């Protein structure tokens, strides 16, 4: 008890110095937490965007299609399978697609795009695609040769809604087929390179050109709950025994790197802050020990044991660091929570953000694991920084220390 009182009062002997350390620790933690949370927020928004708007949680393909992307490498079943899967309780939404590589041509431009035959309603339920439309209409209504292309591509091709364009591709027997489409709508997904490389038409219409029946190349499934993914994957595997069923991280292994690199950034920030903290504490505590040489000599002379002396210095270091840390962590968490709720609007830089595939408004967040680990690491850092000053204090010999 006495030691706690002494150590707490001791840190206030040099008010300015202790306050400076505390404020530095506090600001360091707020800045560190917030920047980690920004990076996490940007990366997670990228991650969710990608999963929810593009690849979905699970995809089903003919295993050969994954390798060769030949038109005939389909999964049979079509509409019936889609209805079955979409009705499973674990499934939030599902859709099927046909896919083919094609040449797209207007009067002034020729280029390659991947042409998707989609089922407009289920596609929209799964990827919420129609929200990207910025001009024209989604795939509805009668004209079955409607096509949606990216705004970026439209600009390159110098076409508009209502323009007529021709796409050329191979059918399932490897015959070259040309089909004319009318641009029904333009989309802007926020990710320019993607917008330039894909186009969407009706599944049935594309299939009729490809010579396929109700078959599909790809089924995309969105789960209700990320924790169910593995069991859902198994269920799909037994429903499609000859097909390859893959989760998002198998489809795009790079996405896992996004998640882990977000963590890595956070840990690098944390390590830098901890190095600063350790040096600050070490320096301050060494000064405190040197300033109090005679007093420490007196304490040892009158019978204060080494264990208690060590504890005194450790407690002082802990008080010094934890006071600032607790305030810093609370402020930092508060700031992250607040900005995580209202979001940070970087529309001013929206061009850059689009290139990165990030929404201009993003929400800083920190993982629960990271939030829990910070206080522990702060504590360990403080304890480690206490050791050297404490040993210095113990190494004093009372006779000499008293004479100083």
Partner 1 sequence: MPVIKTKQLFKIYNEDTVPVYAVNNISVEFQQREFTCVVGPSGSGKSTLLNLIGGLDSPTRGTVEVAGHRIDEMTENQRINFRLNHIGFVFQYFNLIPVLTAYENAAFIMQLQGKPEKEIRERVKTLLVQVGLEKRMNSRPSELSGGEQQRVAVVRALASKPDFILADEPTANLDTKSAFNLLDIMKRLNEEEGITFLFSTHDQRVIDRAGRVVTLVDGGLQHDTEKGK
CB of 287 to partner 1, least distance (A): 16
Nearer to partner 1, 3 or 335 (CB): 3
Nearer to partner 1, 368 or 404 (CB): 404
CB of 359 to partner 1, least distance (A): 54
Q: Tell me the two tokens of residue 358.
A: 């990030």
Nearer to partner 1, 302 or 348 (CB): 302
CB of 316 to partner 1, least distance (A): 11
CB of 24 to partner 1, least distance (A): 23
Nearer to partner 1, 12 or 338 (CB): 12
Nearer to partner 1, 60 or 401 (CB): 401
Q: Tell me the two tokens of residue 239.
A: 């429903």
CB of 382 to partner 1, least distance (A): 21
CB of 402 to partner 1, least distance (A): 6
Give contact residues for partner 1 (rule: CB under 8 A): 2, 5-6, 9-10, 13, 294-295, 297-306, 308, 398-399, 402
Nearer to partner 1, 160 or 306 (CB): 306
């Amino acid at each position: 008890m006495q030691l706690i009182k002494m150590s707490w009062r001791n840190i206030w002997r040099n008010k300015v110095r202790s306050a400076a350390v505390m404020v530095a620790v506090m600001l360091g933690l707020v800045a560190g937490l917030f920047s980690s949370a920004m990076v996490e927020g940007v990366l997670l928004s990228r991650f969710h965007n990608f999963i929810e708007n593009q690849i979905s949680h699970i995809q089903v393909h003919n295993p050969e299609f994954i390798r060769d992307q030949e038109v005939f490498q389909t999964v049979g079943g079509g509409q019936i399978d889609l209805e079955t899967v979409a009705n499973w309780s674990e499934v939030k939404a599902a859709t099927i697609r046909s896919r083919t590589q094609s040449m797209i041509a207007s009067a002034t431009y020729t280029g390659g795009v991947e042409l998707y035959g989609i089922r407009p309603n289920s596609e929209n339920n799964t990827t919420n695609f129609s929200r990207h439309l910025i001009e024209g209409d989604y795939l509805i209504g009668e004209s079955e040769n409607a096509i949606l292309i990216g705004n970026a591509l439209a600009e390159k091709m110098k076409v508009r809604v209502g323009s007529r364009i021709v796409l050329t591709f191979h059918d399932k027997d490897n015959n070259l087929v040309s089909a004319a489409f009318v641009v029904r709508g333009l989309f802007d997904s926020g990710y320019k390179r993607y917008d330039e490389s894909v186009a969407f038409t009706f599944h049935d219409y594309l299939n009729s050109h490809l010579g396929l029946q109700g078959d599909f190349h790809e089924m995309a499934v969105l789960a209700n709950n990320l924790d169910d993914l593995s069991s859902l994957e198994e269920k799909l595997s037994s429903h499609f025994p000859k097909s390859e069923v893959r989760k998002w991280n198998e489809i795009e292994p790079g996405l896992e790197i996004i998640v882990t690199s977000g963590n890595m950034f956070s840990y690098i920030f944390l390590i830098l802050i901890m190095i600063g903290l350790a040096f600050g504490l070490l320096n301050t505590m060494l000064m405190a020990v040197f300033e109090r040489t005679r007093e420490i000599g007196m304490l040892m002379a009158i019978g204060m044991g080494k264990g208690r002396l060590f504890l005194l210095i450790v407690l002082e270091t802990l008080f010094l660091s934890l006071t600032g840390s607790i305030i810093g962590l609370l402020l930092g968490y508060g700031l992250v929570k607040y900005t995580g709720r209202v979001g940070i609007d970087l529309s001013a830089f929206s061009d850059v953000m689009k290139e990165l595939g990030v929404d201009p408004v993003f929400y800083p967040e920190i993982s629960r694991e990271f939030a829990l680990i910070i206080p522990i690491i702060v504590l360990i850092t403080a304890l480690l920084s206490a050791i050297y000053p404490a040993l210095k204090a113990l190494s004093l010999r009372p006779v000499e220390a008293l004479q100083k």
